[in-house]
């Protein structure tokens, strides 16, 4: 159980690092939003699954599950809101910054 929990947590941290590299390296805000949105939701969910394997049965498990569901539902909504705002303000897409 402990090894499985650490595997899930390591996968989550790896996904967070990959998303962070994308946020650092991509050239326009839409690409950066895509990297951050996808990798953050996956990484946070995997990390919380590993944490709830470590927590065992109890009300902490309920709170951790609620937190994981919150990330799963609100992460894409926030990414969509930011991307929609950037699109409606006619932000350029091809790497040219203004």
Partner 1 sequence: MRGIWEAAILLSAAPPLFRLWRGPSFWDRVAGANSLNVRIALVLALEGVLGKRAVLLDVALAYALLGFLGAVLLARFGERGER
Residues near partner 1, by CB under 8 A: 9, 12-13, 16-17, 19-21, 23-24, 29, 32-33, 36, 40, 44, 47-48, 51, 54-55, 60, 63-64, 66-67, 70-71, 74-75, 77-79, 81-86, 88-89, 91, 97-98
| Minimum CB distance to partner 1, residue 4 (Å) | 15
- 8-state DSSP, 90: T
Under 8 Å between Cβ of 25 and 70:
no
| Minimum CB distance to partner 1, residue 94 (Å) | 14
Integer CA distances (angstroms), 38 to 4, 52, 85, 96, in order: 23, 21, 18, 24
CA dihedral 63, 47, 44, 59 (to 10 degrees): 0
Nearest CA among 31, 13, 32 for reference residue 23: 32
């Amino acid at each position: 159980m402990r090894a499985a929990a650490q595997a899930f947590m390591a996968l989550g941290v790896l996904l967070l690092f990959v998303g962070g590299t994308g946020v650092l390296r991509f050239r326009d805000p839409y690409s950066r939003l895509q990297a951050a949105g996808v990798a953050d939701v996956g990484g946070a969910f995997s990390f919380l699954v590993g944490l709830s394997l470590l927590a065992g049965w109890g009300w902490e498990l309920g709170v951790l599950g609620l937190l994981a569901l919150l990330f799963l539902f609100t992460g894409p909504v926030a990414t969509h809101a930011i991307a929609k705002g950037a699109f409606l303000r006619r932000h350029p897409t091809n790497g040219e910054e203004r």
